Structures are given as C-alpha cells and as structure tokens.
Amino acid sequence: MAVKIRLARFGKKKKPFYRVVVAHETSPRDGRFIEVLGTYDPCCNPVKISLDRDKALAWLKKGAQPTQTAHQLLRKEGVLKA
C-alpha cells in the first residue's frame, strides 16, 4: 500500500489549520494517519510552517510520496534539498 505525505485539515470554519501527516493513500483526508510531521498555519501573517525535518527526510527515504502542496512546503523548509 502506498504512503503519502499530505495535509490534514483542522481548525474552525473560514480559519483553517493544517497538520503535515504521513498517511496511507486510501485513508480519508482527516482520518487515520501514521505520523505527524509538523504543522502549517496559512492564516498567520507571515505564514507559519513548522516541520520535523529529520522525520520528513526519513519518510521520503522510505518511499513516501508528497502531495503537490506538501511538496511545496517541504521545499520551502529545505527538506528536499538534503
């Protein structure tokens, strides 16, 4: 079964807050996940991103595929350069 690095939505209506998680490809967006890698808060100015780089890099080495948005966040934090 494929594993993805993706965002899970939390927060209130009109005020999103996301967790960057590792989850099975077939599990629902806000459903079951394997591990939390960090958080992303787009409502702050400037945007807040906090990631555990070591965990993210370990999952990428194991073969986890990031979604498009997660890929952009990982690139901004410098995880994909390593």
According to the model, what pLDDT value does residue 19 have? 93
Sheet with 65-66: strands ordered across: 48-51, 35-41, 15-24, 3-12, 65-66
pLDDT class for 82, splitting at 50, 70, 90?
Answer: low
CA distance to 36, 56, 64, 81, per residue, from 8 (Å): 10, 15, 16, 24
pLDDT class for 26, splitting at 50, 70, 90?
Answer: confident
* % of residues, the chain, pLDDT over 70: 98
Per the CB < 8 A criterion, the answer to whether 5 and 75 are in contact is: no
**Average pLDDT in the chain:** 90
pTM of the entire predicted model: 0.86
